Amino acid sequence: MGQSVLFATVASAGLVLGAVVGMRSMPPARVLAALLAFASGGLVAALAFGLFEESLV
């Protein structure tokens, strides 16, 4: 479970960072899309790890 929490924290930080960068300045759409895509992928991975861990117990 600790690994899932770590992945979720890192991924959530990426979403917040992407939102802050988007509000402060207007980066190119590709850069903002890459930041948010990475962060959302991290959240999906954290969810998958959490669900997989629960299915083994």
Q: Answer whether residue 32 shows pLDDT above 80.
A: no
Query: What are the structural domain ranges in the chain?
Result: 2-56
Share of the chain above pLDDT 90, in %: 2
Report pLDDT for 57. Answer: 64
Report pLDDT for 51. Answer: 80
Q: In the numeric block, which tokens belong to residue 19?
A: 């939102």
Give the model confidence (pLDDT) of 13-29 as tens digits: 777 877 787 788 887 88
Query: How much is the pTM?
Result: 0.52
19-52: b or e for each residue (b if 16 or more CB lie within 10 Å)? Answer: eeeeeeeeeeeeebeebbeebeebbeebeebbee
